[in-house]
Chain A
Amino acid sequence: DAMVIQNPRYQVTQFGKPVTLSCSQTLNHNVMYWYQQKSSQAPKLLFHYYDKDFNNEADTPDNFQSRRPNTSFCFLDIRSPGLGDAAMYLCATSPGGSGYTFGSGTRLTVV
């Protein structure tokens, strides 16, 4: 039973057209993270929510935003995707301690 679910698994979007990626969890974890992973690179943290508190990494572009309407859901919005935003986007959750659970990721293609 998947506990961190990301939809869709694959997303194709047009250059400049806003796109939203979704993550949901059944673990009731306090913390939800979004990572960007480009080909052959390490996952890079974009931002995270600790409950409702939003924490943005200093080098996350303004083009990326996030929403967490409730404990279970977190969304990644890319306002104007560029070719350089093509990547795998990974959602993860944590109870705030040591355990992290990752979703299967959404692979974003920008055409």
Chain B
Amino acid sequence: GEDVEQSLFLSVREGDSSVINCTYTDSSSTYLYWYKQEPGAGLQLLTYIFSNMDMKQDQRLTVLLNKKDKHLSLRIADTQTGDSAIYFCAARGRAGTALIFGKGTTLSVSS
């Protein structure tokens, strides 16, 4: 089945750009997602990209998709302390419509 991998931690300074990386295994994944989770809270959809796109930009967020390498990245421009959270990459699995999640990347932003 689908497997989604992410690096576990990223630490940046306020105002810098953050880049969170993700790899997935199922080349037939049609949609790929980024979710944000703050402590004790549910999952907030940040953005998603369809597999026929290479890039999607939404304000401070840029998603890059390399379908050949099955690599997805999320870039946050001008990172703020409020961006500190866990970021999950997710792919729609082959077997059904459910999302398969990576383990999450903890982003720590220092001022």
Q: Which residues of A have CB within 8 Å of B100? A: 45
CA distance A76 to B88 in the complex (A): 24
Q: Which residues of A have CB within 8 Å of B45? A: 100-102
Using C-beta atoms within 8 Å of the partner chain, give the interface range for chain A: 20 to 34
**A90-B43, A98-B48 known; A42-B102 Cβ under 8 A:** yes
Q: Does A103 contact B (CB under 8 A)?
A: yes
Select B96's contact among A42, A43, A55, A104, beta carbons within 8 Å: A55
Minimum CB–CB distance for B59 against chain A, Å? 19
Q: Are A104 and B103 in contact (CB under 8 A)?
A: no
Q: Are A42 and B43 in contact (CB under 8 A)?
A: no
Q: Are A42 and B103 in contact (CB under 8 A)?
A: yes
Q: Are A50 and B97 in contact (CB under 8 A)?
A: yes
Select A102's contact among B31, B42, B48, B50, beta carbons within 8 Å: B42
**A42-B103, A48-B96 known; A103-B88 Cβ under 8 A:** no
Q: Are B43 and A102 in contact (CB under 8 A)?
A: yes
Minimum CB–CB distance for B34 against chain A, Å? 12
**A42-B103, A42-B104, A43-B88 known; A33-B43 Cβ under 8 A:** no
Minimum CB–CB distance for A107 against chain B, Å? 7
CA distance A90 to B98 in the complex (A): 13
Minimum CB–CB distance for B5 against chain A, Å? 10
Q: Which residues of B have CB within 8 Å of A33? A: 98-99
CA distance A90 to B40 in the complex (A): 12
**A48-B98, A105-B42 known; A100-B88 Cβ under 8 A:** no
CA distance A98 to B30 in the complex (A): 9
Q: Does A31 contact B (CB under 8 A)?
A: yes
Q: Are B42 and A90 in contact (CB under 8 A)?
A: yes
CA distance A78 to B35 in the complex (A): 27
